[in-house]
Amino acid sequence: MNEARSLPMAEPIKREIAMPAETTTYGSAALRRWLVADADALYQLVNESLDHLRPWMPWAAEHSRQQSVEFTGGCERAWTAGTAYTYAVLSGGDLAGSCGIVRDGQS
């Protein structure tokens, strides 16, 4: 009879990952690192999109300029710490949204 054997667990591979580019473009689309200086533009964009955001994004119901300042400031701190890289999405130079990358275990 063959007995099942447990194999030893492999150690996770730890690699140094380079910091991503602060800006990248493709045609008229661009990703640009969020900065605190973007807080007013973010606040305006969210206000213009509240009807579309509220059903999907719980934070939109209580949106304020202060939240935009806190979000963009948090983006700057996380970028510097290397825990998350959050981008403003631009279309034709206009702010259109946000996306980001979070390091495993940081969410």
Closest CA to 36 of 78, 81, 92: 78
Contact 46, 68 (CB under 8 A): yes
pLDDT at 78: 95
Residues 3-27 have pLDDT tens digits of 666 667 666 666 666 789 999 999 9
Residues 38-79 have pLDDT tens digits of 999 999 999 999 999 999 999 998 999 999 999 999 999 999
Count how many Cα atoms sit within 13 Å of the Cα of residue 44 in the half-sphere of its side chain: 7
- pTM of the full structure: 0.78
Asked if pLDDT for residue 106 goes beyond 60, the answer is no
pLDDT at 18: 77
Beta bridge partners of 25: 30
pLDDT at 17: 67
